Structure 1
Amino acid sequence: MIGFVGIAMIFVMVFGGYIAAGGKMGIILKSLPFEFTMIGGAAAGAFVISNDVAAIKHTLKDIGKVFKGPKWKPEDYKDLLCLLFELIRQARQNAVALEEHIETPAESAIFTKYPRILADREAIDLICDTLRSASMNYDDPHQVEEVLEKRMEANLHHAQHSSHALQTVADGLPALGIVAAVLGVIKTMGSIDQPPEILGKLIGGALVGTFLGVFLAYGLVGPFAAKLATVVEEDAHFYQLIREVLVANLYNHSTNICIEVGRQNTPSHFRPSFSDLEEALKEVKKDAA
């Protein structure tokens, strides 16, 4: 919702200020379809050239995150801590019984309690792979933490491709606006014998290209790229929490301490309070009993 508010503010302030200053929308509206075709078409073509099909689909899909915001909500972080609590407790009580949960999480009585987390393949793979490795005696905390860090860095780099692709388009839009403006000037020079009022409109139409390129770059596409990067970084905290809890488990801290480490490493605006998490964990223990 906040994304739509921002877009509305941009258009109202820019064009409202222009009209309030006595500007006329006629020239802009007349030239806009042609200028947008040139600039938008060239930008789209450059985007297609610089990305493969998978990246194009990924970027178009990710644009929705600008309006939806981060995937993971405060309730999801609390659910994740509860899920990890159950898994760690199960691993310490009966390591053999844990195998059926991490080998087939879709059929696990533990994982199915948290459908939003279960639907995220990366989160499930991260949890199951780490617990499976620990069961095979790959349990050195420093080595595991390094492996998880590299894995998450690679995933974050991949997830940020969409924002980088959009930022590249934003960087090129002002230059494409100049290209459209130059073409407009060429058109104007071809009508140099026309009276001043006609030449004025032609020059004004040419300048719409420069305006549109800069406006799209810094008013829309650039902010879209920045917002998308922010959302991706926010969602990355969810996977970092998994790392912190599972590494704490390898240090053989008590289960409650492992979960508290995760809670304290949760971003403040997503972090459940100690009392809320304690209540949730009590419910988990009651269900398990």
Structure 2
Amino acid sequence: MYLIIGAVVVLASVLGGFTMVGGKLLALWHLNEFIVIIGCAAGSWVVATPIKVIKASFAGIKGVFKGPKYKREDYVDLLKLIYELLVKMRREGMMAIEAHIEQPNDSSIFQKYPKVLADHHMLDFITDCVRLIVGGNMAPHELESLLEYELETHHHEALEPSHSVQKVADALPGFGIVAAVLGIINTMSIVGSAAPSEIGEKVASALVGTFLGILVSYGFVGPISSAMENRAHEDGKAFEVVKMALIASLRGYAPSVAIEFARKLLFSDVRPTFQDLEADLKAAKG
């Protein structure tokens, strides 16, 4: 919603300021300039970007309009899920959790949290981590180092779409200059045989190319890239929460304390209070 509002403000400011000094909006509409700029940007993006990143970029742009993947109540459910797994391991032993992590879709614990169960990236991360704890006989610092490498790889992959879109934003002003140069070449070809009014119109058309390249870059594509990057950081926080809780548990802390360590990692706008989370954990334990 805020993304749309911001785009409307950008357009209203540019077009409103232009018309306030007597400019005519139709003077900014030159289809050939759009074709050159957008076509060059799209073509160079396809040449430079792997197909998986292109697909992820479209999904990331769509995700910016949808909102964050995990909201406050989803983080509470995620913490409750980890808490139940830790409690079961502590009460019944490591092997008691094996069936739950091998077949999470049939697990009575995982079935309580459909949002986590539907997120296959998160589900695989949780089950793989718990599987290492159950059968890996790893020291806490060894598991922590391994999970840090995994999260680093995950974050790098999650940021690839935003970096790719940012490169398009960086290139757009240059393609605007290409469109403007083509317009000037076309203008120079008729100097001496055309009326001054026609030459002025073609020069104005050429300058629109520079204008469009800069506007689309800094007004739309660049901000979308930044929004995608922020969203990737927000969505990655859930994985850090899981890592913290499991590492704290492996270090010997009680499940409730391990979950409190994880709660501290959450951003303030999605972090439940200590009292609210404690009540939720008691309900899950019951």
Which band: TM-score by shorter chain? Answer: over 0.9
Pick the aligned partner of 2:51 from 47, 50, 53.
Answer: 53
**1:60-79 to 2 correspondences below 5 Å:** 60-79=58-77
**1:125-204 to 2 correspondences below 5 Å:** 125-192=124-191, 193-204=193-204
Unaligned runs of 5+ in 2: none
How far 1:22 sits from its partner (Å)? Answer: 1.4
For residues 257 and 149 of structure 1, the distance between their equivalents in structure 2, rounded to whole angstroms, comes to: 21
TM-score under structure 2 length normalisation: 0.97
For residues 59 and 23 of structure 1, the distance between their equivalents in structure 2, rounded to whole angstroms, comes to: 36
For residues 185 and 36 of structure 2, the distance between their equivalents in structure 1, rounded to whole angstroms, comes to: 15
Unaligned runs of 5+ in 1: none
**1:1-289 to 2 correspondences below 5 Å:** 1-29=1-29, 31=30, 33-94=31-92, 95-192=94-191, 193-286=193-286
For residues 133 and 40 of structure 1, the distance between their equivalents in structure 2, rounded to whole angstroms, comes to: 48
For residues 205 and 41 of structure 1, the distance between their equivalents in structure 2, rounded to whole angstroms, comes to: 18
Native 8 Å contact 1:244 1:262 kept in 2: yes
Residues 223-278 of structure 1 deviation map (CA, whole Å, 9 limit, x = unaligned): 11111001001111110000000000001111110111111121111100111111
Native 8 Å contact 1:73 1:270 kept in 2: yes
How far 1:133 sits from its partner (Å)? Answer: 1.2
Aligned-residue CA RMSD (Å): 1.0
Residues 140-161 of structure 1 deviation map (CA, whole Å, 9 limit, x = unaligned): 1111111001101101101111
Aligned-pair identity in percent equals: 40
SS in 2 for 1:160: helix
Native 8 Å contact 1:139 1:250 kept in 2: no
TM-score under structure 1 length normalisation: 0.96
Native 8 Å contact 1:83 1:111 kept in 2: yes
Moved over 4 A (4+): none
Native 8 Å contact 1:184 1:206 kept in 2: yes
